[in-house]
Amino acid sequence: MSSSPDRQASVSDNPDAHLLSESEVEKVHEDMVHGYDDVEDEFEDAVEGEEAAKPDEAGNFEVTKEELSIIRAELASKFPEDYEYLSDAYILSVASKPYSKDPTVRRPLEYTMEKLTHVMQWREEAGAPDMGELVKLANGPETAPAAVEEPEKLTKAKAMVYALNSGSVYWHGLTKEGKPILWIRTNRKPWYPDVDAEVNALILLADAGIRAMPKDCTDFVVLSDSNSPPPPNPTFMINMLKALVRGYPDRLSMLASAPVGSIIQFVMNLLLPLMPGRLASKVVLIGTDEMQEKLTELLLNGKEDIPIFMGGTADHDEFYPVEGSCPNRGEGTLKFDYFGMVERLEAAVAGFEKNRGAKKEEEE
C-alpha cells in the first residue's frame, strides 16, 4: 500500500481524476445496470417519483407471512450457503415497496425475487460470503495448510487486510434509531489505493455491520470525516458505487460528509450523475458550522458520542489507532481490530435492544 505524502492533497495530484463526459456517464450507467433490470428501475423511480403511492404512513404495502415464506424458500433453494444473510426485515422492506412501473400497487412477488436474486448473485460473483474467511486466513501463519495450498487466496487476503489496517473505515456506535454507524476517516486513506482490496474491505465491513443490526433494522448510516481526503480516485469511487447499487440496495440510510472541501465537491460532481435518484437523495454535505448540531441530533448518546476528530470528546483512537500503533492481532498481517470491532458493535446493539424493550414494557 502506497504511503501518503505529508501534505494536503488536491484534485490535481491524480492526473486521471476528471469529471465524466456525457458518453462516459452513459457507459458507466450501462455497465452498472447491465442485466439488472431492477437496478434500472431504481433510476426510473427517481424520475417517476415516489409520492404517488401512499398505501400507509410509511409508504409501504403489506406482505403476508405466506409470501415471506415463499421468498425465503426460493432463496434457500438457490443460495443454500448464503440465504440467511438476508434478514426477514430486509426482505419485507424490499417486497413492500411500491412498484416503479405503477406506484399505486406493490411490487409483484416475481419482481422482488428478481431483485433479491440479483443481490445474491452479485454476492457470489464478488466473493462476499468468503471475505470473513479471508480475514482469518490473513490473521494466521503463512505456513498454515490453507495458506500453503491456496497461495492466490492468501495474496488476496493479505491485500484486503492491508486495506483494513489503515483504520480508515470502521463500525462504531449507533444512531438514536439503532442504525449502525460506519465511520470513514479520509485522512487515513492511501493516495494510491489497491482498488480491488479497498472494495473487498468495504464488502467485508458492510456485511459485518448488516449481520449485527437490530432485528427490525435494515439500513445503516455512514459518517465521513472529510477534513483531509486523498486525491480522488475515479476507478475506486465508481467500483464502490457499483458495489453499493448492486450488492446493497436500500441499505444506505444516509451518508453525511463534513466538512465540504474542493475534493469532496469533485467527488460529488463525479458520482451524483451515476447514482440512482433515491441513493443520491441520501447523501448530505455538512458544513463545519452545523456539524456539532447535526451529530448531536443523530448519535445515540448525543454530544458525548461525537469523536475528537469531529470536535467532540469520544476517543475512537482508543480502539482504532493509526496503523503504526497497532499490534498484530494474530500470527499473520492483520493489525486492525476487526474482531473487537464486531464484538463492540454486537454489544452496542444488544444494549440498544435491551433498553428499547424496557421502554416498551414501561409504556405498556
Collapsing DSSP states into helix, strand and coil, what is residue 213?
A: coil
The pLDDT score that the predictor gives to residue 267 is 79
Percent of the chain exceeding pLDDT 70 equals 86
pLDDT, one tens digit per residue, over 6-47 is: 555 554 555 555 666 777 767 776 776 655 555 545 544 433
Q: Which pLDDT tens digit goes with each residue over 281-317?
A: 898 988 888 999 999 999 999 999 999 999 999 999 9
Using a pLDDT cut of 90, give the percent of the chain over it: 59
Q: What is the pLDDT of residue 268?
A: 82
pLDDT at 39: 54
Predicted structure pTM score? 0.86
Task: Identify the pLDDT of residue 357.
Answer: 85
pLDDT for 231 equals: 76
> CA triplet 53, 57, 60: central angle to 5 degrees?
55
**Pairwise CA distance, residues 223 & 291, whole Å:** 11
Rg (CA), the chain: 21
Q: Are strands 98-99 and 283-285 parallel, antiparallel or unpaired?
A: unpaired
108 pLDDT higher than 50? yes
As a whole number of angstroms, the distance between CA 353 and CA 199 comes to 31
From its phi and psi, is residue 22 left (phi > 0), alpha (psi between -120 and 50) or beta?
Answer: alpha
